[in-house]
Amino acid sequence: MKHAGAAALDRLSPLLQEIRDIEALSERSRGVFYLRSRAFLHFHEDPAGLFADLRSANGDFERFQVDADAPARSIVDLVRRRVAELTAIRGPSRSP
């Protein structure tokens, strides 16, 4: 399964914009988001569709299909919950 290319990310544009609005995340390259200094969320494509890999509290990535309407909408809520969980576990980030 390869990382999502430009055309796949174009299809996810509304979803990506919602994720960009989550302040705790930084987008290091298009469609690749970090929480602090750790990779947190990125996207893949294969013949079965588009998928998001989202870091869990135990440090592993979980895969979610995001090319159907309902899963794509729910992934934003899940991302917000994971950010809150991981921020609570590690404490708030510090600004310089």
Over residues 29-67, the pLDDT tens digits come to 999 999 999 999 999 998 989 999 999 989 999 999 997
Can you tell me the distance from the alpha carbon of 52 to that of 73, in angstroms, rounded to the nearest whole number?
12
Phi, psi for 24 (deg, rounded to 5): -70, -15
Segment (H or E) for 52? strand 49-55
Q: Is the model's pLDDT at 93 over the cut of 80? A: no
Structure tokens at 51: 């998928």
Segment (H or E) for 69? helix 69-90
Q: What's residue 87's pLDDT?
A: 86
Can you tell me the distance from the alpha carbon of 53 to that of 51, in angstroms, rounded to the nearest whole number?
7
69-90 vs 13-20: helix crossing angle, rounded to 10: 20
| Model confidence band, residue 74 (pLDDT cutoffs 50, 70, 90) | confident
Residue with tokens 């609005």: 21
